[in-house]
A and B are shown apart, each in its own frame.
Chain A
Amino acid sequence: GQSLEQPSEVTAVEGAIVQINCTYQTSGFYGLSWYQQHDGGAPTFLSYNALDGLEETGRFSSFLSRSDSYGYLLLQELQMKDSASYFCAVRAINTGGFKTIFGAGTRLFVKA
């Protein structure tokens, strides 16, 4: 089966750094993605890790440890517009091909 765990809510102040963790148990694991979704909006792709280590894209970084079945999204220099839901998603292969399975999501509240 597939399961992902991430905190349901995180609150941080503007300008701070926040880390959103994700642990997974997935057969056929290939990689871990992160998506952002504002209320009423569509999910938008942020990053993907297939190999262990840190990937940096501007203010956002994502980390993966395959041996620990663990990853995180790091958001730096938080801005009010970063208030949104963040989903980790595993990319896994099984019968029928690759699938993307989303975690339950973490709601990030950024305070002034």
Chain B
Amino acid sequence: DTEVTQTPKHLVMGMTNKKSLKCEQHMGHRAMYWYKQKAKKPPELMFVYSYEKLSINESVPSRFSPECPNSSLLNLHLHALQPEDSALYLCASSQESGDYEQYFGPGTRLTVT
């Protein structure tokens, strides 16, 4: 199983809502990542978890709150988002943190109204 799954596929939320994005992998990878991708732009790293501990936070605003409940799951909690946060949110995993081969999920298309 070389798949990273993400739910939901699409999410529309208001600026006062609280929602969560979920990511799961069963490849035994010890590193998991959140990226944000705007249309026609590259993925931008947000967070890196290594062995379930947050190792990199790319100065992401606190309205984005990551959580790694176990080695297979990664969540991104969203609260008080802005319309400019609308983007594709990609989860990825790799054997170890910083490995050059990352496996990406299909992403969650988020729209903030």
Residues of A within 8 A of B (CB): 30-31, 33, 41-45, 48, 50, 87, 91, 93, 96-105, 107
B13 CB–A CB distance under 8 Å: no
Which residue of A41, A42, A43, A99 contacts B98 across the interface (Cβ within 8 Å)?
A99
Instruction: Looking at the assembled complex, report how far the CB atom of B84 sits from the nearest CB atom of chain A, in whole angstroms.
Output: 19
Write the nearest CB–CB distance from A1 to chain B, whole angstroms. Answer: 14
CB of B53, distance to nearest CB on chain A (Å): 11
B55 close to chain A: CB less than 8 A: yes
Residue of A nearest to B43 (CB): A102
B61 within 8 A of A: no
Interface residues on B, range: 20 to 34
Alpha-carbon distance between A48 and B98 when the two chains are bound, in angstroms:
13
Please list 17 pairs of residues, one from A and one from B, whose beta carbons are closer than 8 Å in the complex, sorted by A's number: A33-B100, A41-B106, A42-B4, A42-B107, A43-B102, A45-B102, A91-B98, A96-B55, A97-B50, A97-B55, A97-B97, A99-B98, A100-B45, A100-B102, A102-B43, A104-B42, A107-B40
Q: Which of A30, A45, A98 contacts B97 (CB 8 A)?
A: A98
Residues on B lying within 8 angstroms of A by beta carbon are 4, 40-45, 48, 50, 55-56, 90, 97-107
CA distance A95 to B84 in the complex (A): 28
The answer to whether B90 touches A42, judged by C-beta atoms less than 8 angstroms apart, is yes
Q: Is the CB of B100 within 8 A of A43?
A: no
B45 touches A101 (CB 8 A): yes
The answer to whether B100 and A42 have CB atoms under 8 Å apart is no
Within the complex, the shortest CB–CB distance from B51 to chain A, in Å, comes to: 11
